[in-house]
Structure 1
Amino acid sequence: MTMGQASEIPPLDGAADISRSKESQQGEVLADSKNWAGFALVFFGVLATAIAFIALWMDQLSLGLIAVAVAAVGIAGGTVLIALERRR
């Protein structure tokens, strides 16, 4: 922009905005609250994975196997929820 030129004002008539893409931008998926349930499930799945590793390292087989099952359900369920919300 040079001196003496008026700044461009965007149209207010509801015309299509061709300068913006329809793809999600950085941080947009995380900021959308409809994805939070999926992210929470994935978070708890990762937390259960860490608990499973620690339990199995300490020879607590039953706790480790339960944590592995919870981790698998959490990570798979959260991923499916996020994928379904993105398709909608």
Structure 2
Amino acid sequence: MPGETVQPTPPGPAPVPVPGTLVVDTSRGDRLGEFRGAAGPYWSLRAVCGGVEWEAEPGAVRRATRKERLHAEIERWNARSRGEVL
């Protein structure tokens, strides 16, 4: 109707990524991680080159940009060239 104000709908919950998707945990200083799965209300993430998993709130996680994904792939290639097990 003319003159009617439409309120935007608030965003819904973030869709759960496919395991292995690279994401960024903004609550930890934009820490890049690989999505491992959902654990209750949290998402389990792991550093790209291995290490201990951590939990993040889904609302604080965003998909990695193309540049961030490329950087992560280079880190993986370098780790493999050094013989590190991933």
TM-score interval, normalised by the smaller of the two chains: under 0.3
Whose RCO is larger (CA < 8 A, sep 6+)?
Answer: 1
Give TM-score, length-normalised by structure 2.
0.22
State the structure with more CA Rg: 1
